[in-house]
Amino acid sequence: MLNLIDEHTRESLLVRPERRWSSAKVIEALADVIVIKGVPEHIRSDNGPEFVARDLRQWLAATGARTLYIEPGIPWENGYCESFNSKLRDEFLNGEIFYSLKEVQVLAERWRIHYKTIRPYSSLGYRSPAPKTWQPEIKTGYGEVESRVRFPLPHTLDGGYLNSKEAALT
């Protein structure tokens, strides 16, 4: 499985299972995420052959992203991804039996969406990271009247919908 994590927001950007990974498949997966999220400043990865391949390094250089490789045998240099991999194994892989590659791909994507939208993170005060990263704000009501605060607090009256004369009367 190729797992992409945004280290800043801790959002899971991609979980893609494959039988084998090549540099071409890694480029394809990264391109899918870059189209949606934009080009990252750095990409941190281990030193697997699919990540240090010349084609991948040239493609990343052409996009403007720089590479950061972790030292072999030092997983704490990639702590967010290692933590994610542990949760993926405990919460998803250990509880499933897969009968096809397509099945694991569909279930892995469903788990990833759950992980980034519903599952609470202790490091974020038991909130999910998605509301801060990509979920739009929900506005209720129609127009200015319906969107107005129903019971404004006294300190919000001076710059809000009510002027000081109306505030004194209410």
**CB neighbourhood size of 73 (10 A):** 6
Range 78-105 average pLDDT = 89
Task: Give the DSSP per-residue string, 18-41.
Answer: -SS--HHHHHHHHHHHHHHH---S
DSSP H helical ranges for the chain: 23-37, 49-52, 54-63, 79-91, 101-117, 130-133, 143-147, 164-169
Distance CA 8, CA 121 (A): 14
Model confidence at 99, in pLDDT bands (50, 70, 90)? very high
pLDDT value of position 168: 41
Range 65-91 average pLDDT = 82
Range 63-76 average pLDDT = 80
pLDDT value of position 157: 53
Which residues of the chain does CATH 3.30.420.10 include? 2-133
Look up residue 149 and give its amino acid. Answer: V
Distance CA 167, CA 170 (A): 5
| Highest mean pLDDT of the ranges 17-21, 69-73, 138-142, 149-153 | 17-21
pLDDT value of position 101: 94
Is residue 63 over pLDDT 80?
A: yes
Distance CA 78, CA 7 (A): 9
Strand, helix or coil for residue 146: helix
pTM: 0.67
Taking only the tens place, the pLDDT of each residue in 86-96 is 999 999 999 88
Distance CA 86, CA 143 (A): 47
pLDDT value of position 125: 80
The better pLDDT of the pair 152, 96 is held by 96
Tokens of 103: 């099945």
Tell me which of 88-92, 115-119, 129-133, 138-142 is least confident.
138-142
- Whole-number Cα distances in Å, 5 to 38, 107, 145, 163: 14, 18, 42, 48
Give the CATH number of domain 2-133: 3.30.420.10
